[in-house]
């Protein structure tokens, strides 16, 4: 049986309340159909999680957050704790997005603590990894991925209970650039990530997503990659029809 893909819509800081609500409400029926074929996770900005959540959940979609605090609670002005996200219905949380690594100087250690907060609060972390253009050109991709994953593995690799972890491979050079790696390159990287997780975190039920300039033009070719469990979509998730088409193409459904 074909597995149900996980398609994550990362709205970044693009849609306000009205637009977020319209995205869900104007497309209610189509969204409900889409959730039959794929696990749809919508990641709006923090203030929208609750309102969008009500609409999205009614259509069978899930709500995720784009980030969370590495600490449980306390004097951390401007931060949002993982347990607060869980309380408003988030089931997933992105951690370590390259924009946060780059613009907010997040370290691998901080990101590992965020992933742990997500897990202990009953949500599934979507941990983003990926190399920059410079690192790609220096052929450092696997070194970078290992560095980005190993802190988390060191902290939770010994855990006996099974836990779910989604790793999103998002090469920084592919985000918003219109460029994507080849199918063979993504296959090789997904294999490496799965093998790394199996060795260093034996209780981890790991899934791999691809993200970076995913749109209708590449969704079908990405669907050939057996090792991929889904996609993390930025710009092409803002317009519902574009998003629907790419989900259908990736899930091999008629448009
Ligand atoms: P784009 O799909 O706009 O390239 O963004 C990718 C991304 O950063 C998703 O998290």
**Counted domains in the chain:** 1
Residue 17, in any domain of the structure: no
Q: Please choose from 130, 214, 216, 217 the residue to mutate so as to test ligand 1's pocket, defined by most ligand atoms within 8 A of CB.
A: 214
Q: Stretch 22-43: mean pLDDT, rounded?
A: 95
The predicted structure's pLDDT at residue 138:
98
Q: Is the pLDDT of residue 254 over 90?
A: no
pLDDT at 1: 43
CA–centroid distance, 234 to ligand 1, in Å, is 3
Does ligand 1 lie within 6 Å of residue 212's CB atom?
yes
Q: Tokens standing for 217?
A: 């033009």
Tell me, using a 6 A CB cutoff, whether residue 202 lines ligand 1.
Answer: no
**Nearest-CA residue for atom 7 of ligand 1:** 234
C-alpha separations of 63 from 6, 66, 89, 135, 188 in Å: 12, 10, 7, 33, 30
CB 124, CB 88: distance < 8 Å: no
Nearest C-alpha neighbor of 208 from the set 129, 113, 142: 129
Residues 6 or more apart in contact with residue 222 via CB below 8 angstroms: 180, 183, 186, 210, 214, 228, 231, 250
Residue 28 within any structural domain of the chain:
yes
CB 114, CB 95: distance < 8 Å? yes
**pLDDT above 90 (res 255):** no
**Is 170 an annotated catalytic residue?**
yes
Q: Is the CB of 172 under 6 A from ligand 1?
A: no
State the CATH number of the domain containing residue 103: 3.20.20.70
Query: From the candidates 55, 97, 106, 216, which is the catalytic residue?
Result: 97
Domain hosting residue 85, numbered range: 6-12+23-250
Q: What is the mean pLDDT of residues 26-31?
A: 95
The pLDDT value recorded for residue 2 is: 62
Ligand 1 pocket residue status of 237, Cβ below 6 Å: no
Three-state SS across 203-228?
Answer: CEEEEEEEECCCCHHHHHHHCCCCCC
* Residue carrying the six token digits 């049986």: 1
157 versus 3: the higher-pLDDT residue is: 157
Is 1 within a domain? Answer: no
For residue 29, pLDDT over 90 is answered with yes
Residue 3's pLDDT band, with cuts at 50, 70 and 90, is confident
Q: Ligand 1: which residue has its CA nearest to atom 1?
A: 234
Residue 253: the pLDDT is 57
* Nearest atom within ligand 1 for CA of residue 177: 4
Tell me the pLDDT band of 186, cut-offs 50, 70 and 90: very high
Is 162 tagged catalytic?
no
Cβ of residue 66 lying under 6 Å from some atom of ligand 1: no
State the burial class of residue 150 (Cβ atoms within 10 Å of its Cβ: 0-12, 13-18, 19+).
middle
**Helix 183-200 × helix 141-156 angle, to 10°:** 30
- Is the pLDDT assigned to residue 111 strictly greater than 50? yes
pLDDT, averaged across the chain: 95
Q: Is the pLDDT of residue 64 over 50?
A: yes
Beta strands in the chain (DSSP E): 6-10, 39-43, 62-65, 90-95, 124-129, 163-169, 204-211, 230-233
Domain-embedded: residue 255: no
Interhelix angle 28-37/49-58, rounded to 10 degrees, is 70
| Mean predicted confidence (pLDDT) in 29-48 | 96
């Amino acid at each position: 049986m074909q597995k149900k893909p996980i398609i994550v819509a990362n709205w970044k800081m693009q849609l306000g309340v009205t637009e977020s609500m319209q995205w869900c409400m104007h497309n209610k029926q189509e969204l409900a159909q889409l959730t039959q074929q794929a696990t749809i996770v919508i990641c709006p900005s923090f203030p929208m999680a609750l309102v969008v959540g009500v609409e999205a959940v009614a259509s069978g979609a899930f709500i995720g957050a784009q980030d969370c605090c590495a600490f449980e609670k306390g004097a951390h002005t401007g931060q949002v704790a993982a347990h607060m996200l869980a309380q408003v219905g988030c089931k997933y949380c992105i951690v370590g997005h390259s924009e946060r690594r780059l613009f907010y100087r997040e370290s691998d250690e901080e990101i590992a603590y965020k992933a742990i907060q997500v897990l202990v609060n009953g949500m599934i972390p979507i941990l983003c990894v990926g190399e920059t253009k410079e690192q790609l050109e220096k052929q450092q991709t696997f070194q970078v991925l290992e560095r980005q994953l190993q802190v988390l593995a060191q902290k939770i690799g010994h855990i006996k209970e099974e836990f779910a972890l989604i790793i999103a491979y998002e090469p920084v050079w592919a985000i918003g650039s219109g460029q994507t790696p080849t199918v063979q390159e993504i296959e090789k990287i997904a294999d490496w990530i799965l093998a790394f997780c199996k060795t260093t975190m034996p209780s981890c039920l790991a899934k791999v997503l691809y993200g970076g300039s995913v749109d209708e033009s590449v969704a079908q070719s990405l669907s050939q990659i057996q090792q991929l469990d889904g996609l993390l979509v930025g710009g092409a998730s803002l317009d519902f029809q574009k998003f629907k088409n790419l989900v259908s193409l990736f899930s091999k459904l008629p448009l």
